[in-house]
Each structure stands twice: as C-alpha cells, then as structure tokens.
Structure 1
Amino acid sequence: MTLSKRAYLGALVAMLSAPAFAQSTANNDQSDGSQQRSSNRLLEEVVVTARKRTESVQDVPISIAAFSAEKLDAIGIETAQQLDKITPGLVFGSTIGFNTVSLRGVGSDAYLPSADPSVPIYVDDINSLPSQGSIDALVNVERVEVLKGPQGTLFGRNALGGAIRIVTPDPRDDVFEGQLKADYGRYDLVGADSSGGSAFLNIPIAEGLAATLSGLYRDEEPIYTNELGEPVEPNKIEAFRGKVKWYVTDTLDITLSGAYEEAANAGGLSAEGTQPSTACAICTPDPKFDYRTQHNVPAALRTRRTMLSGYVNWDLPTFTAKLILSDQNLDVPYGWGDLDYTSAPIFAGNVGEQYAEQRTAEFRIESNDNSFMSDRLTWVVGAYYLEAAGGYDPLYLRFTTGATDFLGVSPIVESISNLLSGVVPNLNNADVTAVSYGVLNTESISGFAEGNYHILDRLKLTLGVRYDEESRDVSGSRVDLKIADGDDEGDIPFSSFDVPEANTSRTSPRVSLQWEFDNAQVYGSYSVGYLSPTYNTVNILEGPNFVEQEENNAYELGFKGSWLDGQLQLEGALFYTERTNIITAYTSILSGGAVTFFNAGDGEIKGVELSMQLQPMPTLNPGLALIASGSYLDGEYTDYKDGRGYDEDSGLTFGPGALNLLEARDFTGNTLTNTPEFTGSISLLQAISLGRLGEIELGIDTYYNSGYFFSAQNTSLLEQEQYQTYDARISYFYNPWGLQLTLFGENLTDERYFASAVHLDFGPGRSLAPPKQLGVRAKWTF
C-alpha cells in the first residue's frame, strides 16, 4: 500500500498527539532511564563539527541531518548514495554514471569531469573528487553530516546546495580494537548475487602513537543482462585506508592519512532504450523495462583513485592552529557504453583516459577556552588554496558502420565528408570516430572568517564571510578523426580550439541569529552560495563554451528542541532560495556541440522540513524508537525562455544550436530538475533484551518520493513517477563476543524506479534501480 503525502503528514501529527508521547518520566531514576534509552541505536545523540568546532547537533543554528555509525548501521545505510532514503529533500541522481546530487531543490544536471557538484562530499574535511560510476562506501565511519543550504563560508567552493561530510575515526593509543564485517545478498528477480566484507583495526604503536587500518571488498553481479552477448561489468571494489596519528605533546598532534580504491562497474552505462526517437528508422525499441538491454558494446567502467593527506593540530595558549594538506588522483583507464541505447549499430563511446588530480591546502586558526572573550565569542579564520586538472585525454565517440542512414542529416557527417573527400572514397563502409581531447585547469585561493557572539545570554549572532579568486582554462582542446576502412586506420586532425582563461572573484556572506530556550532554540539565517563558472570539455564542431557562475541567496527560519526528558526531539525549517544563472547541460552529439554547458536562467524554491526522533514508551517499552522526517519543495524556473531539448513526438532537437528546430521553447514555470514535491521517511526500531542470551533488534523503514523530472523540459520521457520503498532487518546481538548477525531485505515490494535517465539524439536511456534484495550480514567487534 502506498502512503500519500496527506497520509504522511497525518501520521506525523497523530504521533505528536498520541497519549504515549505525553507520559512523564519525572519519577524515574535518571541513570536507569539513560541506560534504557541507549539500548536503542536510533536514540544516540550525535556530536558534529559543522562549524569547525565540536557541538551537539541540537545546538547548531544550521539544518543538519547527522548520523552516527551505529545509527547508520541500525537503518542499513552502507553508501553515501543511500543517504537520500533517510534525508528528505536529498536526491542522488545520475547522468551517464556521473552523480548529480540535489539538496532542497539545488543541484546541477551538468555532468562531465569539468562539471562541479552543487553538493560536494567531504571526507575528513577534504572534498572528494567526483567521478563517473563512483560509489562512496561508508566504511568504518564515525559519523555522517548532511549540511543543508549554502555552506560557502566554511566549506568554500561549490557548496551551493549544502555539503555531505564523512568523518572517519581518529587512531587511539589506549586500546587495541577492531571490526570484521561480511555480507551476502541476492537480487531474486534477476538472479544476481552480491557479497563483500570490510575490516577495521585500531593499533596502539607506542605511547602517543597509534594507527587505524581499514579495507573494503565488494563483488556484485550486474543486475542488467545484455541480450546481444556484450558484457555488463560486475560491480567490484577494493579499497584501503590508513591513518597514523602522533600525539607529539599534550597540545600538538600530527595525522597522516592515505587511501587507495580500485573499482569496476557498469558506470551507469547500461540503460534501456524503450522509446527511441521516431526520427531513427533503424532504432528498435525494447518492449519494456525488464533489466535487459540490447547493446552493441560492453557497459563497463574501471576507476582508480588515491588520496594522501596530512593534518596538524596545535593548541596554543590563546587559539588553536590547524593545517590540512591533500593530494588526490583519479584515473579512469577503461570505459565503454552504447549511447544510442538500442540494438542498432549507430553510436558508442569509450574512454581512452579520464583523469583528475587535485591538491589543496587549508590553514585556519580557531578560538579556544583561553581566547579573548571566550565566554561570549567563538571564531575561526583561515585561508584555502586549490589547484586541479581533469578531463578526457581522450574520449572516443564512434559512429559505427551502417549508421549513415540516420547520420546523413547531421552537420557532423557533412563536415567529415567534406574533410575526407578523396581520402575515404565511401564513408558508408567506414567507422568514423571523433577523438575528443580537453583538460580543465583550475586554481583557486580564498580567505574566510566566521564568528559567533553572545549578544545576550540566550541570544547569539553569527557572522561569516568568504572571498574567493579563481582562474580556469582548457588545455589541449581538439578533435581528431580515426577512420577504420577495412584494414586501414588513420588519425586526421579535424578541429582545434583556443580557449581563453577565465578569472572570477566572489564574496559569500552568512548571517544567523539564534535565540535559545530551555532545551530548544529558534534561528534565522541568510547565506549566499556560488557554483564555479566552468567550460565543457567534450566538443566536436564547436569549442568549449564558458558558463558564468551560479549564485544562490538562501533564507531560512528554523527550530530545534528536546522535550519529555529527551524522549522527543523535533527539528523543522522554513526556507526560501533564489537561484540565478542556473548551470545546466544539453547533450546532442549530432548538433556538433556534443555536451554543451549553459546558464539556464533563474529559479526559486520554497520549502518546509520537519524531522522527529521519539521514544514513545520509555517505561513500558524502552527499546522502541522511531524517527520520521518529511520535506515539501515548491521549486520552479522563474525565467528560462531559451529552453533546449527534444520534441516528444518526433525526437528532433530544438533550441539554440539545435540540428533541426532552431526555435527555443519557454521553460519558465517548469519544475526544477531533481526536485520532488514531497519526500518522507519513517524508521521504526524495536530492541528486545534476551537477558544473558543477548538482544534482538527489529527494524523497518519506508521511503516515499512524489516524483520529479530529470530535465528542465519536464518531458514525460524523463520523468520519475511517484514511488515508495520498504526495507526491513532483524538482528541478533551477543555482546560478550561482540557478535551481530543480521537478516535484511531491501525494496521488499519490488518497486520499479529509475537510478538514472538522460535523453540523447537517439532517444532516452533509462536505468532501473535495483529490485528486491534479500541477504545476511555478520559483524564481529573486538
């Protein structure tokens, strides 16, 4: 049974008014009550560092969804991409394998290595390089924080819609401990098995010196099958992370960290072409969505990434100094995908090499207990430097033999034919591959400051600002042609582009006012965020086009509170966001621009959020806990007159630069991409003590999404309709051995919804999310 939006809201209201919520525990023994509450893992209080200092999540005047490692395990969350199931308003989308994250209706549908995410992921205060096909596994984390709204003051570049912070545990020199975890699951509908495991060790080396080591292995059979026999890459990952921490003195510590990951998967390149363009006479549609494709080439992507970092923390008499250095490298040595999504031999792409490298340095000083006016003022001041490069070197876009019947209408084929006149006598008998090169180079430097001042005992004012200067250019932008005619092959220069350097600067302010009550607070905030200007790097006839930076102005009024002796915690917010110069992308290979970035215009989001954590019967049933949350978004384009896309009936392109229909269409009033009107989740957990025999934990979760569009055109061809999923778990704990055994089920009702969708010249390609999975997981903590 699917719950409607009204049913969700009614359930929240009913829970808040139920008699069990009004039970008083004033006569209970406090220590006993605390022990009872801690028996349910949903009720842990999470401490965060969202403002570069340690605070309870209930005390921070920012809307944050924070999850400890135990809470994530209790809800069955294994990757960052699953956080949207417990964070309403968060949507993890995908375009040809690139994550396109949206939070509160703020996100960019632009993709490629040169497209910056609007909601970056940070691991231990270092922003991770986004990549095609990436899966961010949450292995042995201390906590995860989802910060909502612009975070440009303290988190800098591109934290336009928010930031996701993954914090891993620091090494401890006082205990040897570890954890081993293994799991096995099966997707019954498609007969695919998945298995994996992880390990973690904390190793005291000497007094004041310790290390942590962690590793992850995963091997998952593909849920898609290619009926033409071409392989679909299994999902495999091997990852390792190590940290060494040296407590040099009582006031100085140094941490060195390194990570390596090697992965292989289908990279979002296995998509079903159920409704190809009617303009393509040789394209045969798939009959239905059934986890089966008909592709002429493999669906495969392999990635390697490394990260080295260093942290210095020095507590000085009147302030604390911190230095963070990082060096990251990403390499995609292999990738293949059929980009017409049908059995017709038309168009395919493969990666010669995709790479990215990034080096950062951050220095900041923070107030401490001995700072001037420390009883009323806390502050942080710092500077940040980044240099990065990334792109394709090269990317192969192959028009295959026999495709001329469809491609003959393309200016690309006409240009190629003119260039090759007399070189290749009959283009119909040749495969033609456009070899696209282009690397985006970035250098950025910024300074930031934020202070929190007690105007009155219960009234706090926060002021923050960040100033950035950034330069970007594209090097080596060119296209060669590779012609395969029988046994002859050759590379012919086709086009090259000179790209000017772009220099920009920006100031990101933030101000908030916080009024504290007994066990509660009300806050209001205003903040500005930016998404960096950039160039597209995949081109054929037209050079890389520059897009201006996107700017968001965000207003929020929120509250947080804890009542009934901590049994009930509520958090809510009203927010309004103005979006200017929205960065988006339009993909049309045959029109000559390949992937074109442009500024779509303006938009706005009005929204409300409410989340609750509850222990309904602390005396009668202390092991029962519930968390519930919901988000309502009204997001639309307020000024988007030059809309580009594909006609729903004919499949022909329209808008500026289009191959067929040059007249643009007005998208003003359309819903923002990846912006569902309503999302909601409920998790119920029951812990049952078996005395000396251990403990049983029962959990059930549901997530509802009212649906959204993958493109600004709001076409039904790229629409995710409403859906609802159910997950469940039963775990057995034997604490003397540190043993946990779990039976789990995900998507138990076998709901069909899309993991990704994109429209190319030959029609839409859509990939289904995984079907029902059943499995078992074992964890040993020692």
Structure 2
Amino acid sequence: MMKIFRALALTSVSLLSIAAPAFAQDGAVAEPAASEPAANEAIIVTARRREEDVQDIPLTVNVVTASTLENLNIRDGRDVQTLIPGLQLRTEANGVGGSAQLRGVQYDINTGAPPSAAFYLNDAPVEASVVLQTMYDVGQVSVERGPQGTLRGISAPSGAIVVTTRKPDLEEFGGYVQATGNDIGTINVNGAVGVPIIPGIAAIRIAGALDTNEGNRVRTIETRGDARDPYSKTQGGRASVLVTPADWLRLEGVYQRTDRNVRSFAQYETFPVAVAGALPSVGVITAKDRLSIQETPTYIDQKFEIYNWRAEVALAGQRLIYQGGHNRFDVTSITNQDSANFLVGRDFNQTVNTSSRQSTHEVRLQNEERLFDMVDYVVGYYNSSMKAATNLTQQTPVLLPASFGGGIATIAQTPISSLRDGAITEESIFGNLTVHLGESTELSGGLRHIDSHNPVGRLIIAGNTTLTPAKDDKGWVYVASIKHNFTPDFMVYAMTGTSRRIGPNLIGDFSALKSPFQMAFSDLPTETSRSYEIGFKSSWLDNRLRLNATAYHQTFKNYAYRAPTGIYYVNYTATVSNGVVTTTPGVSAVNFGAAVPVEVNGVEAELSFAITPEWNIGINGSYALGKIKNGLVACTDLNGDGVNDGLTAPPSLAALQAVVGANNVSGCRVTQRSSFQSPFSATIQSEYRHSISPKVDGFLRGLLSFNGRSQGDPGYAFDQVDAYGLLNVFTGVRAPDGQWELSLYAKNILDKTEVTNRGLPAVTNYQQLSPSFTAVAATATSSYAQISTTAPREFGLNFRFAFGSR
C-alpha cells in the first residue's frame, strides 16, 4: 500500500514540476475551477437574514465554502475546527451530545445549559451532535462570532455555527460522487443527485454517505474480554425538495437520517510518564502507543432524524418566512466502569438510554425592498419545545470479605432516571432595524424578549426521587452596531450586545443524599453577558488581498462553569436488595459545576492573498483570554487553605468527611482561566495550481493548524498542553472546470502526537463486605490515567466526479 502512495506522490510532484516550465514557455494561466469561488469573488452569507457579502457586515464571520470542504477532505463535522482558529468542537465519549467552545469560554454539554455557541442546520436550531457527524453534500459552513439572538434562533453568548446543505437545482440535472480510502482503515463514500421534476417549478436532491473507520484507533492490551479492533460506522441519507409554484411562493423541505455505531476503548498513559514519582506501572504505555488497559470497550448506538421545512411568501416588497424543524435523537451506550481494570476477567458497566425530541418554529417578516430607500427590518416570533429523558443503570461490584476469598459476591444494580414533568420551552419575540445613512454609514439595533421555562425535574435513584424545582426566566437581550465605509474597500465598525441563558441543573452527581451546599454546584442561576467589539474589514489590489481584524471584551455573570477534572466528595450510594434500599457513604469524584463571573478579552484577524492566479494563501488567527474572577467552585481542599489540592489519588472517607462535614464537598474561591483550550490558535491554508494540459491541472495544497500552549485545569498540575501544529498536505490532478479530481493526501504528515487532555489516575469504585458482611465503599487506583490525543497520521486517496449542475 505504501509503495502505491509513494508512487502517486512522486507522480504528482513530477506533474507539478513539469507544469512550471510549461507556464514559462507558453504563458498559460490556470483558471479557478468552476466549483470554486475565485480569490476576489464575494462570499455571500445570511448572518443578518438577508444575502450580503461577508465583507460588508459589521460582524466577524468565518466561512468555509463547499470547495474548501472538498479540497481539504473534511469528512467529519468536528474537523471544521482545523480551519477556524479559536473554535473547538467535541462529542462526548458516551455518545450523548456534542458542543462547541468559542471566544474564550468553556462549554460542557454535561452542565445541561443551553449552548454558548448555537448550532443550526439550514437556519433551524439543532443539537450539536447532529452536525458533528459524517459531513456530506454541504454547501457552506459559517461561524458567526459574538452574541446571537436578535435576528433568529436562540440567544447564545459566543456565536453560532450554521451548516447549509446544498439545495435542489430547478433547471438542471446533476450531482457528484466522492470516495476516500486511507491507510488506517477508513472507507468513505458519499454523493448526491438532483433532478428537476418540473423544470423551473419543482426539484428534488438525494444525498447520502457511508463511512467506516477505526475511530480513535485505540486498542486494548488485554487478551481477556472483547479485544476486537475499534470501529465507527456511519450511514446517512438526506432528501431535499424545492417547489416554487409561483414567483411569490417558495417551499422547501429536508429529511435527514443518520445511524452510527461505535466500539471504542478509552486511551491510557502510564501516569509516571507525566508525573515523576507516581506509582510505578507493570508496563509502560505512552501516548504514541494508542493503547487501553480496559478489557471491554464502550458500545454506542446513535440514531438521528431531522425534519426541516421552510415557506416563503413575497408580497409588496416584503417577505414572510416560516422556518420549522423537528429533531429526534436516541442513543444507547454501554460504558465499562472498571476504569482501573481492578477486576480481572469481569467488567461491570453503566448502560445509558437517552431520548430527545425537539421542535422549533420561527416566523419572520422582513423587507425585500429597502423602506424609504434607507431602512431594512426583521421582526419575528420563535418557539421551541424539547422533551428529553435519560435512564441509566449503574453497576457496582460487591466483594466478599478476604476471609471468604475476596471474590465477587454480587453486582449491585442502581437504576437512575433523569426526566422532567413536561417539555423545556422557550418563546421569543425579536426585531432588528438597520438604517443606512447615505452610501457609507449604517446604524443597526435589535431586541429580543425571551421567556424560558424548565419544568420540575426528577432524579430517581434506586426508587428514591429528588425533585428539582421548576425554573422560569424572562428578560431582554439586545445588539447594536455602527459601521462606516471610508472607501468602498475599507470599513470600520463597532458593536455591543447582550445574551442570557436560563440556569441549568447539572447531571452527574448521583449521590442519594445531597446537602444544600452541594446542590448549589448543580442548580445554577440564569447567566447574562455583555460584549463590546470594534473591528475593520478591508480589500486591496482589486480584492486579491483581504485583511480583517476584530478586538472584543465580554463579561459574564453566573457563567455555567464545569470542572474539567473530578472533585472528590462524599457520595452516598443507594443499593436495592429484597426491596430494601441501603445508602452507603464513600469517596467519589465528579465534575461539579458553578455559577461564576467571567471576563474575556480577545483579538481575531484574517488575511487572504491571491499572490498570482495560480497561488493563494490564507492566514487566520485568534487570541482569547477568558478568566473566572473570584468565583466559588467545588474543590478538593483537605488542608483547608482554600486552594484545590490537585490530588492524584482519592483521600480516605474519614479524611474527607473531617473536612467537608455535612456539606459533602469543599468550596474554593478562584481566579483562573475559563477555557481549557489554548488562548492562541492560527491556521494557514495555501494552494498552488497549474495547467498541465488543456484538460488537466496539477495542484498542491497545505493546511497548518497551530495551537499555542494550554494551561488546562489550574487545580491539576499534570494536564498542561505544549504548543503544537498539525500539517496536512494534498497533491494531485483535476479537471480545469472542477468536474473531477484525484488527490493523494497526508493528514498530520509529521505524525505529531500531543496529549490534549490528561485525567487523574484511573479509579474503580466498588463495595467491600466486612467480616460481618456490612458493605463499605472502597476504591482501587490505577497507575494509568485516561488521556486524549491528537489524531494519528493518515495517508489517503480521494476521488471526486461531478456532473451536470453538481
């Protein structure tokens, strides 16, 4: 296989080297492919609910076009983060949910808070994990930074990620097919076909994808249990319909279904590799080994269904738009709970079943023709309703006394349910007004009134119910901006905006007995934020050179923070035996939350330059420093000095109870970073293409994603991340009009392995029977810790063929 890759690489390089003298001899100039926007072509976005050149709007918007997704072989929604500095995308290890981090604040879906950066599919809000899957037939991805909510969807303090799928063509038949294979077990095939059913009036587009790969490629060192290779299998399909029976009426509908199955092992590293003097290991595992000590893997089964519809009516220069959506999400996961591999040959699991149903409706009225030749407006109403329920069974081994051999007496089953007595709802009215003062100056402002309701929550543990009171939140958010064009190609702007999110109830602390102090770290109040931003956008040399920059300041009250590593607390485990419920105190760790004040200061900049018609380069950079300012957070503080101890092993129950008393957990005042990703990140993209013959172009592309040093959890000294960069290279041949392309690529070509997250030494919780057969909570600590790392090096081939309207 490697011989083939080397041969193709040499062939591609040879073709490019031949192309250079050909250019010198005949002066041929390679034109941009028909499927790609030219370097000086306008990029159109709808960030303000109407089509505008991204250079004309007083907002920071990063756009990833369809051609960029294709050219850089972006197959997974999470890989968009390699193109957008300051953006971090993730899905949860148990398959329940996904999230985005943007502009210096950390968002963890396990807080239960509304997202800090909202996700949209075709203008309708969706859950993040719907988008962060296998990606296919996408027309554009735009990342809109800063407070959102006065123009559409939901209020979000950090931004919005909008994915727009390709729409049917009313006039021409067309489509594409694309296939990718690599040396680490990936096969990805996707494609689409569009048919005008009634030319000019109705059309349909069918798209689909099949992706199989080896997931995180982590394998187990154990021969017991299920030692088969990891895998991730995704199959998805989408049907889009467009009908325009009259000039004044436009109807759209989309149905999408995705099924994903995963078998994966958590990755481990020998703890002494990072921490000198830690408990020695039987064997050494490094990050490069991509190994696990688990005997059995995690199994995940996900099903997503999306219904997306839209109707537009144009009358008398105005347009009425109704956008609706319904999302169904079901996941089952079985996760190995013997994290320390304490019980040899016998694992115990946590089985989770989560089901979510969300419906959204939005009605907007906006002008098509400018009122009085100077005013644009948008007014609307938004409604959402979501029902979600989680049922899980937590298994705990109970061991016999040592005098009876110390074997497993039983596996205790603790059923846990989290649900609400009704749907989580939001109703909003919003409006935005833009006044154009001549050709050069623009004033804009918007308001939104939000009315949110979270019904009574029920946490049912082994039949015991803990009620979380209903929450209601009402309030206004606003945004205002001013821009001025000193020339048609140089614009300066300033804006301010606010946001609010209803306070969440965190799930994760399943203790059967909780103190009020403990509950304050899970039942959080409403968060509000205020942002200020100034920036400029400029174009030079007939739009061949574009330079944009933004600086911003944002403050939060009651930001929904969640600790990145576990905090030790007194956990009461409930077990059921013969209908009798018994609660037993023990030591556990959980990632508690907190409502904290946060301040963020940041700068963002982007530069793109078409150096020649054949060679272009783009550089994006982001710096965001967010800090919690004197916030009260849960901590492990055995010495009472108000600073998290950063323990690498659990304390004894007696030692912990002596400190926390009836509170069950300690609290510390902290001033620390609010995000655990690097404050600075940057990307560099470049492409050189040249004509080899009238029918063939050669090309060479590169993508460098750089992340600066990350502090990690300030209360835990062993998860720091050094600065690192990942380089992807693509080379091959293609048709001048973009009809077909064959490329050889290498992702992470330098095979950089960086530990991006390092946890505490793995711990297994169990119960030990005393000689009198009384259950006592106990823990076993491993000399290995779970880690996350960068993706491995990948060599691959990609072929794409397009036809008709594509």
If the length of structure 2 is used for normalisation, what is the TM-score?
A: 0.81
Report the residue type matching 2:726 in the other structure. Answer: T
Tell me, what secondary structure is at the counterpart of 2:469? coil
Match of 1:530 among 500, 504, 521: 500
Q: Which moved more, 1:97-106 or 1:587-596?
A: 587-596
Match of 2:596 among 595, 601, 608: 601
Residues in 1 aligned to 2:401 and 2:243: alpha-carbon distance in whole angstroms: 65
Match of 2:619 among 628, 632, 639: 628
Asked if 1:644 corresponds to 2:632, the answer is no
Tell me, what secondary structure is at the counterpart of 2:55? helix
Cα offset, 1:313, TM superposition: 0.7
Cα contact 1:284–1:344 (8 A) shared by 2? no
Residues in 1 aligned to 2:322 and 2:66: alpha-carbon distance in whole angstroms: 26
Closer/same/farther in 2, CA of residues 659 and 554 from structure 1, 3 Å limit: farther
Residue 458 of structure 1 corresponds to: 440
Closer/same/farther in 2, CA of residues 42 and 184 from structure 1, 3 Å limit: farther
Residues in 2 aligned to 1:391 and 1:278: alpha-carbon distance in whole angstroms: 44
Specify every segment of 5 or more residues in structure 2 that has no aligned partner in the other structure, as ranges: 1-27, 573-588, 637-643, 764-780
Report the residue type matching 2:270 in the other structure. Answer: T
Report the residue type matching 2:204 in the other structure. Answer: A
Specify every segment of 5 or more residues in structure 1 that has no aligned partner in the other structure, as ranges: 1-31, 187-191, 406-425, 481-492
Tell me, what secondary structure is at the counterpart of 1:245? strand
Cα contact 2:568–2:635 (8 A) shared by 1? no
Residues in 1 aligned to 2:35 and 2:428: alpha-carbon distance in whole angstroms: 45
Match of 2:512 among 541, 550, 566: 541
Aligned length: 703
Cα offset, 1:156, TM superposition: 4.0
Residue 779 of structure 1 corresponds to: 800
Closer/same/farther in 2, CA of residues 659 and 162 from structure 1, 3 Å limit: farther
Please list the CA deviations of residues 275-321 of structure 1 after superposition, one character each: whole Å capped at 9, or x if unmatched: 39999999978632221101143222110010112210111113100
Closer/same/farther in 2, CA of residues 110 and 772 from structure 1, 3 Å limit: same
Cα contact 2:648–2:761 (8 A) shared by 1? no
Cα contact 1:157–1:531 (8 A) shared by 2? no
Closer/same/farther in 2, CA of residues 741 and 497 from structure 1, 3 Å limit: same
Residues in 2 aligned to 1:403 and 1:136: alpha-carbon distance in whole angstroms: 45
Residue 380 of structure 1 corresponds to: 378
Match of 2:549 among 567, 572, 579: 572
Match of 2:270 among 259, 262, 274: 274
Residue 579 of structure 2 corresponds to: none
Cα offset, 1:751, TM superposition: 1.1
Report the residue type matching 1:429 in the other structure. Answer: A
Cα offset, 1:748, TM superposition: 0.9
Residues in 2 aligned to 1:347 and 1:651: alpha-carbon distance in whole angstroms: 22
Residue 431 of structure 1 corresponds to: 411
Residue 292 of structure 1 corresponds to: 291
- Describe how 1:177-216 pairs up with structure 2 within 5 A: 177-186=174-183, 192-207=184-199, 208-216=201-209
Asked if 1:591 corresponds to 2:570, the answer is yes
Residue 740 of structure 2 corresponds to: 739
Residues in 2 aligned to 1:54 and 1:308: alpha-carbon distance in whole angstroms: 24
Please list the CA deviations of residues 170-189 of structure 1 after superposition, one character each: whole Å capped at 9, or x if unmatched: 21220000100001012xxx
Asked if 1:501 corresponds to 2:451, the answer is no
Closer/same/farther in 2, CA of residues 50 and 266 from structure 1, 3 Å limit: farther
Closer/same/farther in 2, CA of residues 347 and 150 from structure 1, 3 Å limit: farther
Report the residue type matching 2:361 in the other structure. Answer: A
Tell me, what secondary structure is at the counterpart of 1:198? strand
Residues in 2 aligned to 1:634 and 1:264: alpha-carbon distance in whole angstroms: 37
Residue 150 of structure 1 corresponds to: 147
Report the residue type matching 2:527 in the other structure. Answer: E
Report the residue type matching 1:592 in the other structure. Answer: N
Closer/same/farther in 2, CA of residues 332 and 703 from structure 1, 3 Å limit: same
Cα contact 2:142–2:163 (8 A) shared by 1? yes
Cα contact 2:314–2:320 (8 A) shared by 1? yes
Tell me, what secondary structure is at the counterpart of 1:111? helix
Report the residue type matching 2:617 in the other structure. Answer: L
Residues in 1 aligned to 2:652 and 2:534: alpha-carbon distance in whole angstroms: 41
Report the residue type matching 1:740 in the other structure. Answer: E
Cα offset, 1:720, TM superposition: 2.6
Residues in 1 aligned to 2:440 and 2:237: alpha-carbon distance in whole angstroms: 46
Residue 517 of structure 1 corresponds to: 486
Cα offset, 1:42, TM superposition: 7.2
Q: Which moved more, 1:54-63 or 1:549-558?
A: 549-558
Please list the CA deviations of residues 563-590 of structure 1 after superposition, one character each: whole Å capped at 9, or x if unmatched: 0111100110011111221212355686
Closer/same/farther in 2, CA of residues 647 and 232 from structure 1, 3 Å limit: farther
Residues in 2 aligned to 1:77 and 1:659: alpha-carbon distance in whole angstroms: 51
Q: Which moved more, 1:304-313 or 1:642-651?
A: 642-651
Closer/same/farther in 2, CA of residues 690 and 257 from structure 1, 3 Å limit: same
Cα offset, 1:727, TM superposition: 0.5
Tell me, what secondary structure is at the counterpart of 1:745? strand
Please list the CA deviations of residues 521-541 of structure 1 after superposition, one character each: whole Å capped at 9, or x if unmatched: 111010112233221244232
Residue 62 of structure 1 corresponds to: 59
Residue 122 of structure 1 corresponds to: 120
Asked if 1:612 corresponds to 2:607, the answer is yes
Residues in 2 aligned to 1:725 and 1:160: alpha-carbon distance in whole angstroms: 29
Closer/same/farther in 2, CA of residues 381 and 266 from structure 1, 3 Å limit: farther
Please list the CA deviations of residues 7-29 of structure 1 after superposition, one character each: whole Å capped at 9, or x if unmatched: xxxxxxxxxxxxxxxxxxxxxxx
Please list the CA deviations of residues 371-426 of structure 1 after superposition, one character each: whole Å capped at 9, or x if unmatched: 532x211111001111102231x112222354999xxxxxxxxxxxxxxxxxxxx9
Match of 1:262 among 259, 263, 268: 259
Residues in 2 aligned to 1:184 and 1:297: alpha-carbon distance in whole angstroms: 28
Cα offset, 1:467, TM superposition: 0.9
Please list the CA deviations of residues 715-739 of structure 1 after superposition, one character each: whole Å capped at 9, or x if unmatched: 2333332211110001311257922
Residues in 2 aligned to 1:273 and 1:591: alpha-carbon distance in whole angstroms: 28
Residue 550 of structure 1 corresponds to: 527
Residue 160 of structure 2 corresponds to: 163
Please list the CA deviations of residues 76-107 of structure 1 after superposition, one character each: whole Å capped at 9, or x if unmatched: 33333112222111122455355342111123
Residues in 1 aligned to 2:656 and 2:602: alpha-carbon distance in whole angstroms: 35
Cα contact 2:104–2:600 (8 A) shared by 1? yes
Residues in 2 aligned to 1:55 and 1:465: alpha-carbon distance in whole angstroms: 21
Closer/same/farther in 2, CA of residues 463 and 356 from structure 1, 3 Å limit: same
Closer/same/farther in 2, CA of residues 648 and 253 from structure 1, 3 Å limit: same
Residues in 2 aligned to 1:707 and 1:499: alpha-carbon distance in whole angstroms: 40
Cα contact 2:99–2:128 (8 A) shared by 1? no
Residues in 2 aligned to 1:654 and 1:84: alpha-carbon distance in whole angstroms: 42
Residue 17 of structure 1 corresponds to: none
Residues in 2 aligned to 1:313 and 1:272: alpha-carbon distance in whole angstroms: 53
